């Protein structure tokens, strides 16, 4: 099974996270940030991942460390669960509508982590969540997982819809990229023989 368990403890956050890439879409999320919990729950569902996250963070300061560090832990979990990446599809992309918002995500499980993000989120906050943290999350996730991640917002006026569309789109792109290519289960999808 392609699973991982990550424990990450710093002076700012204490995180326990488990991931099953071949799950049923169940999420057990508690980060003390309601909006992040909502995004990770739908991320698990739309990616068909089983995801459990517990984070105790310095939320008396703000949610920055919690959001970024959960992104780091989730990226680490993906990298560990993918192992040598043998047999994976490698690429995935989804153009996802979320009401008036239209979001494209594209994934390459390349081993070269990078986030290339084009957002225009109109509000500074959704509830008590600073919307700029959306980019912090995806940048940390991409860097730590070794995944090249593109997200492009084509339209959207509602900040909640834009961010939710991004999480759903990325989850569905990842679902494709991590899936097993039944015709090439024993090969690495690269001419280098390594990802």
pLDDT tens readout for residues 81-138: 999 999 999 999 999 999 999 999 999 999 999 999 999 999 999 999 999 999 999 9
Predicted pLDDT at 189: 84
Calpha distance 55→94 (Å, rounded)? 29
- Does 110 map to a domain? yes
- Does 123 map to a domain? yes
The closest of 30, 25, 6 to 78, measured between CA atoms, is 6
- Does 119 map to a domain? yes
Taking only the tens place, the pLDDT of each residue in 20-68 is 999 999 999 999 999 999 999 999 999 999 999 999 999 999 999 999 9
**What tokens were used for 99?**
């009401």
Predicted pLDDT at 193: 76
Predicted pLDDT at 168: 98
Query: What is the count of structural domains for the chain?
Result: 1
The closest of 93, 78, 84 to 145, measured between CA atoms, is 78
- Does 189 map to a domain? no
CATH of the domain at 14: 3.30.230.40
Q: What angle do CA 170, 165, 45 make, to 5 degrees?
A: 60
Residue 165 reports pLDDT greater than 90: yes
Strand 114-118 and strand 101-108: the pairing is unpaired
Predicted pLDDT at 190: 83
Q: What is the mean pLDDT of residues 171-190?
A: 93
Predicted pLDDT at 47: 98
Q: What is the mean pLDDT of residues 183-187?
A: 89
Question: Which structural domain, as residue segments, surrounds residue 127?
Answer: 3-178
| Alpha carbon 139 to chain centroid, angstroms | 9
Helix (H) or strand (E) holding 67: helix 64-82
Q: What angle do CA 175, 100, 127 make, to 5 degrees?
A: 80
Calpha distance 107→86 (Å, rounded)? 17
Q: What is the mean pLDDT of residues 174-195?
A: 89
Predicted pLDDT at 192: 81
- Does 12 map to a domain? yes
127 or 193: which leads in pLDDT: 127
Taking only the tens place, the pLDDT of each residue in 70-83 is 999 999 999 999 99
């Amino acid at each position: 099974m392609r699973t991982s368990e990550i424990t990450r403890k710093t002076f700012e956050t204490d995180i326990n996270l488990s991931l099953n890439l071949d799950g049923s879409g169940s999420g057990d999320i508690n980060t003390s940030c309601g909006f992040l919990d909502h995004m990770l729950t739908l991320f698990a569902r739309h990616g068909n991942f089983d995801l459990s996250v517990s984070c105790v963070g310095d939320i008396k300061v703000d949610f920055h460390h919690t959001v970024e560090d959960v992104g780091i832990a989730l990226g680490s979990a993906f990298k560990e669960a993918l192992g040598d990446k043998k047999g994976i599809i490698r690429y995935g992309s989804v153009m996802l509508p979320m009401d008036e918002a239209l979001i494209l995500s594209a994934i390459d499980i390349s081993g070269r982590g990078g986030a290339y993000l084009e957002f225009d989120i109109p509000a500074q906050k959704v509830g008590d969540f600073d919307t700029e943290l959306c980019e912090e999350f995806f940048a940390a996730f991409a860097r730590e997982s070794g995944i090249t991640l593109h997200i492009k917002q084509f339209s959207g006026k509602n900040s909640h819809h834009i961010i939710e569309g991004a999480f759903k789109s990325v989850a569905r792109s990842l679902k494709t990229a991590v899936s097993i290519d039944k015709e090439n289960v024993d090969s690495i999808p690269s001419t280098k023989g390594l990802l």
